[in-house]
Structure 1
Amino acid sequence: MKLLFDQNLSRRLVALVDSVFPGSRHVIDYGLEAATDREIWDHAATHGYVIVSKDSDFRQLAFLHGPPPKAIWLQAGNASTRAILELLLRYRGLIQEFEVDAEGALLVLSLD
């Protein structure tokens, strides 16, 4: 599974999750750091990514359009990159199940 981290998450996450989610990228890798949410959505759908964001707008796109792509909404506030990494690793099994769920459009993960 390839994750696409949006601009509100650290680009350092790409290297940190590589062993678990190989092929993951950050929007900056594609020059999409100033792109609209819809442009990121379309890019992810075209290239087989699951979007990871703290932005609730992707939640709305997931419900409006359905997959692909799928979106992971992190309810993590102003959490550190390390806390985000730990959250993704803690729920990696759930994330992998989410990827193969044909009907799932949105996965919400919370630090709480």
Structure 2
Amino acid sequence: MKLLIDMNLSPRWVEFLASEGIAAVHWSQVGDPKAPDETIMRHAAQAGFIVFTNDLDFSAILAATHGGKPSVAQLRADDVRPATVGRYVVQALKLLVAELEAGALISIEPERTRVRLLPL
């Protein structure tokens, strides 16, 4: 599993996830920071990434296109810093590896995680 972290999340997530054994790259390291979400989705699908975001637009793109890939992990919290919600994120990602590799939209909240298999 390798994550492509969206611009709306801190690059600090890369180091945090690496410390938990999860490969990740921040979009600012591989693409134009002002690129539209569709470009990020296309890159993630072509390169085999799972998009990690705090943006609901990615789930809307999946719904509108009936896409099967890439998987999207949405962080739904007010405080999205790794120090605050990182353990919830790691727990959800490790629990749902098979679903994410097959194609899924997961919503991670501190109290719960929801899974929808793709296409929506």
The TM-score normalised by the length of structure 1 is 0.85
> How far has the Cα of 1:15 moved from its partner?
1.5
The alignment partner of 2:96 has SS state of helix
> How far has the Cα of 1:64 moved from its partner?
2.3
> How far has the Cα of 1:87 moved from its partner?
1.9
Aligned to 2:70: 69
Matched ranges for 1:26-105 at <5 A: 26-65=26-65, 66-100=67-101, 102=102, 104-105=103-104
> How far has the Cα of 1:8 moved from its partner?
0.8
CA contact (8 A) 2:8 2:54 kept: yes
The alignment partner of 1:91 has SS state of helix
Aligned to 1:108: 107
What are structure 2's unaligned runs of at least 5 residues? 112-120
> How far has the Cα of 1:62 moved from its partner?
1.8
CA contact (8 A) 1:9 1:81 kept: no
For each residue in 1:34-71, what CA deviation from the matched residue of structure 2 results, as whole angstroms up to 9, or x when unmatched? Answer: 11000100010111000010100001112223221111
Percent sequence identity over aligned pairs: 28
> How far has the Cα of 1:110 moved from its partner?
0.7
> How far has the Cα of 1:78 moved from its partner?
3.2
Alpha-carbon distance in 2 for matches of 1:32, 1:84: 27
Letter in 1 for 2:17: V
Cα RMSD (Å):
1.6
Letter in 1 for 2:89: L
Alpha-carbon distance in 2 for matches of 1:12, 1:79: 11
The TM-score normalised by the length of structure 2 is 0.80
Counting matched residue pairs gives 109
Letter in 2 for 1:73: Q
